[in-house]
Amino acid sequence: MGSFLVFGFAGEKGQGIVESLQKTYMYYHNAQTVEGLQLSEVMLGKLLPLYKKDRNARLSDTRLKLNKVYQVLASVYTLQGMLYFQRTLSTLERSKENTFPEVMGKLHQKKHPTTQDFEQAIRQENTKIKRVANDLNQRGVALAVASLKNAIAIDPKNPVPHYQLGNIYRLYPGEQARKEAKKSYVTAEKLAQKEGDLASAKQAREKLRELKSQSK
């Protein structure tokens, strides 16, 4: 998996937060967003009280590379944001796939459908899809961005949520979204460089180049 998808855990045996993080990432990797989001909420429920009590407290699991409560909490919020965005993209894709069956169902109600009937049905269905997609898009992206911004607020030196936030902004039109994506990738690159994570810094630079080429 890519450098920006490593959430500070290692090892394969035992029980606890490490396994929960690994399992949540597995859900993300397999596009099982419902299960992943449910588990992320369980982890947040356990970590938030600890964070409020002492954000710098260390978790006892020695396999955690970053074992302070705030660091793990930020990782969970980051993964949650990725899952929300993945769910949004998946839902939008499914809504598009349902277009043809819906159209054919309407045409079958007519005895002798014409080309004009087909074109009209397509237009009507596309209008409905755009309306539903816009609503889903706004809600899903808002949740994803909120989770990632929570991660950044908790652990601003972690490059991962900055990078993932850039991945969301870069998919949306408009100069403001492009600026936000650039800002996120630049920050991710600088933080990764500071950590000595050259692979992640390179990933961010590649995204910046792609962003620049898209704007031409």
Residue at 74 is within a domain: yes
Residue 119 has a pLDDT of: 55
pTM of the complete model: 0.76
Residue at 124 is within a domain: yes
Residue at 170 is within a domain: no
The whole-chain average pLDDT of the chain stands at 79
Residue at 167 is within a domain: no
What's the whole-number mean pLDDT along residues 119-140? Answer: 57
Q: What is the DSSP string of the chain?
A: --GGG--SB--SSS-SHHHHHHHHHHHHHTT-HHHHHHHHHHHHHHHHHHHHH-TTPBPS-TTBSS-BHHHHHHHHHHHHHHHHHHHHHHHHHHHHHTHHHHHHHHHHTSSS--HHHHHHHHHHHHHHHHHHHHHHHHHHHHHHHHHHHHHHHH-TT-HHHHHHHHHHHTTS-SHHHHHHHHHHHHHHHHHHHHHT-HHHHHHHHHHHHHHHHHT-
Domain residue limits at 134: 3-156
Write out pLDDT tens, residues 43-92: 999 899 999 999 999 888 777 888 899 999 999 999 999 999 998 888 76
Residue at 183 is within a domain: no
Residue 96: pLDDT band with limits 50, 70, 90: low
Q: Which position has the higher pLDDT, 164 or 107?
A: 164
Q: Is the pLDDT of residue 115 over 60?
A: no
Residue 177: pLDDT band with limits 50, 70, 90: confident
Residue 42 has a pLDDT of: 92
Residue at 92 is within a domain: yes
Give the number of domains in the chain. Answer: 1
Write out pLDDT tens, residues 180-211: 999 999 999 999 999 999 999 999 999 999 98
What's the whole-number mean pLDDT along residues 90-116? Answer: 55
Residue at 23 is within a domain: yes
Residue at 194 is within a domain: no
Q: Which position has the higher pLDDT, 31 or 89?
A: 31
Write out pLDDT tens, residues 131-171: 544 555 667 888 999 999 999 999 999 999 999 999 999 88
